[in-house]
Amino acid sequence: MQELMFRQFLQLAVSRMSDFRETLSPPHPSRMPHPNSFEIVALIDVLGARVSTLPEAESLLTHLRAVTAKAQELLALEQLHPSFAKPDITVLGDTIVCLWRGVNYNSIISVPMFCQYLFIESLMTGKFTVRGAVALGDFIRDEHVALGPGIADAASWYAECDMMGIVATPQFGLLLDEIAEIRGGEHTMSHTFVRYPVPLKNGSTLSMWTVAWPWSFITMAQESGRPARQALLQNLRKLPIPKGTETKYEHAKTYFDWYLTERYGAAKHWLGKVHEALARDRGSAPSIPPAQTQETDA
């Protein structure tokens, strides 16, 4: 089942890359401020994995290698579509470091796509899940170390959220605000990033852009004929939940339910309109029927 879901993700990513590019890249690049390319950092921390013994550490390393190896297969999309930007991936302890150079307003879509995949693939291992942050900022990198403002910004946020999932740092969020404004509203981003009152470890909440992992999870579950929420609960049930981390899982369920009822329909409706527009431009019928605005399997 895990391999089937992985293949479905690849198929989904390839088939919808053009639509993602159309919906996230700005319609008038000349209106955008310089620079026209960015460096982006994602620091993604492993949750729930026990590493108190050497065999446990070896087991975690095996699973991390499997997840990052499949990530390399996803990176082959770079050869299939010019809008896919390839990250450089390193595993440091129980943290996955992803570095993108030269990302522009077209290829920025590859950042949430990759993070959605990484989250779902880690969840499906049944061994651990992840929490992290994506930052906008320069960095320097050699074979041993990566440093810079982007690394520091991501590091200051990647462990602050009391929730599974991946958030955009406030500085990166300003760029997403800008893109949403140009695109015509936050609803145009719902399949990639969504704003959400993220619970923080200090007990407060903060409105932040989050990587919309439920979009890909729900879509893949439906394409395999499984109710999305049931599929999520089945995957969560397999994970270890050490005492003191249970709120991260409860908050993730709340986030998933919120997305399912409040954002998934909007994302499908928006992409349905994009399919229709692209079909008109190409002079052909839409490849999929216009989507309904409400998901029913909650």
Residue 28, pLDDT score:
45
HSE-up of 259 (CA within 13 Å, CB side)? 31
Residue 273: alpha-carbon gap to chain centroid: 22
Rounded mean pLDDT, 99-106: 84
The Cα–Cα gap between 167 and 177 comes to 14
pLDDT at 267 over 80: yes
Residue 202 per-residue DSSP state: T
Whether 294 maps to a domain, the answer reads: no
DSSP conformational letter for 45 = E
Highest mean pLDDT among 70-74, 83-87, 246-250: 246-250
Angle at 216 between CA 101 and CA 69, to 5 degrees: 55
* Mean pLDDT of the region 253-268: 91
Flag whether pLDDT at 46 surpasses 50.
yes
Whether residue 211 is predicted with pLDDT greater than 80 in this model: the reply is yes
**How far is the C-alpha of 211 from the C-alpha of 166, rounded, in Å?**
6
Residue 298 is assigned to a structural domain of this protein: no
Give the pLDDT confidence score for residue 7 in this predicted structure.
53
Instruction: Return the minimum-mean-pLDDT range out of 64-78, 97-111, 123-137.
Output: 64-78
Q: Average of pLDDT values for 195-212?
A: 96
Q: Is 3 exposed, middle or buried (0-12, 13-18, 19+ CB in 10 A)?
A: exposed
Distance, CA of 92 to CA of 161 (rounded, Å) = 20
State percent of the chain over pLDDT 70.
74
Inform me whether the pLDDT recorded for 70 exceeds 80. no
171-185 pLDDT, tens digit each = 999 999 998 888 888
Q: Examine residue 14 and state whether it is found in any structural domain, yes or no.
A: yes
> Does 226 reside within a domain?
yes
Q: Is residue 295 part of a domain?
A: no
What's 253's domain CATH number? 3.30.70.1230
Q: Does residue 203 lie in a domain region?
A: yes
pLDDT band at 82 (very low <50, low <70, confident <90, very high): low
The confidence band for 285, taking pLDDT boundaries of 50, 70 and 90, is very low
- Two tokens at 78? 């770079």
pLDDT at 15: 52
Quick one: average pLDDT of 97-106?
85
Residue 237 lies in a domain: yes
Query: What ranges make up the beta strands (E) of 104-214?
Result: 129-136, 140-141, 146-147, 165-168, 193-199, 205-211
292 found inside a domain: no
Q: Mean pLDDT, the chain, as a whole number?
A: 78
**Total domain count for the chain?**
1
User: Quick check: 282 pLDDT over 80?
Assistant: no
61: containing domain:
2-282
Q: In angstroms, how far apart are the furthest CA atoms of the chain?
A: 61
pLDDT at 288 exceeding the cut of 50? no
